[in-house]
Amino acid sequence: MNRTVDKLTGIGIKTTKEKLIIEVPITGMICAFHNDPNNTWEEKPIAKLRKGARQDFVNWIAEYITDESDADTGDSYLMEMFGHLFSRLVEDGEDFLEYTEDKDEE
């Protein structure tokens, strides 16, 4: 198992032979929301989480992270993120990938 933790956000990524596990601390998510550029005006949050609404907030995030975000493709926000990662992976030419054109040259 491998584990990586982002020191700023506290987001942890664990890998096993079977899974990629992403752990997001709720306090970090709330802080990120309050400081998100889309939620700030003149360096102040436009909206803040109401007291006692923490569970509603994370339930909303959990629901919408896998909900359809792109009407044309039907991709969820999560799949959109993976799509960006996969594009970068292919463009970076990582050694653990085997490219179709490499096969054609053999």
Around Cβ 47, how many Cβ atoms within 10 Å? 10
- Look at residue 103 and tell me if it is in a domain: no
How many domains, in total, are found in the chain?
2
Backbone angles phi, psi at 21, to 5 degrees: -115, 120
Domain span holding position 3: 1-48
pLDDT at 102: 57
Residue 72's pLDDT band, with cuts at 50, 70 and 90, is: confident
User: Same domain for 34 and 72?
Assistant: no
- Look at residue 19 and tell me if it is in a domain: yes
pTM beyond cutoff 0.75: no
pLDDT at 13 exceeding the cut of 60: yes
Around Cβ 81, how many Cβ atoms within 10 Å? 13
User: Same domain for 6 and 33?
Assistant: yes
20-36 residue pLDDT tens: 999 999 998 898 898 89
